[in-house]
């Protein structure tokens, strides 16, 4: 029966003894590649591009920041479009991580997914976290849309929510605080992303443990990717030219002007 401590197909087939990976290396890498491929291909389904083209006969990447993400959809097409992106991007991330979890397990301990229950810490988180990382990369560099996508914030946030909900709440609180005080969504996103690996390290230290290498490495990579994706935003913040979040209905006029 499936549970939050479900051990995954790999453990069900091969067990979790010390030499299990070496004894079943082909199956291990087949499952790992499947987790990565599923994450990337699902992540590449960019909801913002789909909604803008299907419902508005347009491409969100032509407007505003040029980013195919929820914030630009909110500014350009309004709240309903942004909610559609929120739901779609969350669902694809949930499905990607779920596939990784089915293959390698979830293994929740103290509201934190440890993934594959192995005697070697390096294998912990090998399915769920790699699938999540692949989904972030797919969202930013989607194979279906010329490798021009969003910035991965919503996908990485959903990843944190699924795999470490308590840490997500801390990151979300920091995000809300920064956006509320500065009106810069990008600044809140980058700050929260940088906090992710720091909080993971702190979580394990709290229990006098060392963070599993795969989990720590993936969260560091996610943070670096989010910062890299926002490099132009950070430059504009430094130059005081970054657009601040506003819920006033003036983006339709701007979109029409951009189209002329």
pLDDT single digits (tens) 117-160:
655 555 678 899 999 999 999 999 999 998 988 899 999 999 99
The total domain count for the chain is: 1
- Given a contact cutoff of 8 angstroms between Cβ atoms, the answer to whether 204 and 210 are in contact is yes
Tell me phi and psi for residue 80, to 5 degrees.
-65, -40
Q: Is residue 3 part of a domain?
A: no
Task: Give the domain range for residue 245.
Answer: 8-259
Q: Is 159 within the bounds of a domain?
A: yes
Q: Is residue 130 part of a domain?
A: yes
Cβ proximity of 191 and 174 under 8 Å: yes
In a domain, 207, yes or no: yes
pLDDT for position 259: 36
Mean predicted confidence (pLDDT) in 59-71: 86
* 199, part of any domain: yes
The conformation of residue 247, written as its DSSP 8-state character, comes to -
Q: Is residue 2 a part of any domain in this protein?
A: no
CA distance linking residue 140 with residue 79, whole number of Å: 22
Bridge partners (DSSP) of residue 113 are: 108
Find out whether 191 and 230 touch, Cβ atoms under 8 Å.
no
């Amino acid at each position: 029966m499936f549970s939050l401590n479900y051990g995954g197909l790999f453990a069900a087939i091969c067990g979790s003894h010390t030499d299990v990976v070496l004894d079943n290396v082909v199956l291990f890498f087949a499952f790992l590649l499947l987790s990565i491929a599923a994450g990337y291909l699902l992540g590449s389904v960019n909801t913002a591009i789909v909604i803008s083209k299907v419902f508005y006969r347009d491409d969100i990447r032509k407007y505003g920041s040029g980013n195919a993400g929820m914030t630009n959809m909110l500014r350009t097409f309004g709240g309903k479009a942004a909610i559609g992106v929120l739901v779609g991007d969350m669902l694809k991330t949930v499905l990607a991580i779920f596939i990784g979890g089915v293959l390698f397990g979830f293994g929740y301990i103290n509201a934190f997914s440890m993934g594959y229950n192995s005697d070697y810490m390096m294998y912990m988180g090998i399915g769920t976290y790699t699938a999540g990382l692949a989904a972030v990369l797919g969202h930013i560099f989607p194979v279906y849309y010329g490798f021009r996508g969003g910035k991965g914030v919503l996908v990485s946030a959903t990843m944190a929510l699924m795999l470490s909900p308590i840490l997500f709440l801390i990151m979300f609180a920091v995000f809300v605080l920064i956006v509320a005080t500065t009106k810069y969504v990008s600044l809140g996103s980058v700050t929260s992303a940088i906090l992710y690996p720091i909080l993971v390290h702190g979580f394990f230290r709290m229990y006098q443990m060392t963070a599993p290498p795969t989990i720590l490495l993936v969260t560091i990579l996610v943070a670096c990717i989010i910062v890299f994706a926002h490099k132009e935003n950070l430059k504009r913040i430094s130059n005081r030219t970054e657009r601040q979040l506003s819920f006033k209905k003036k983006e339709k006029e701007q979109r029409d002007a951009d189209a002329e």
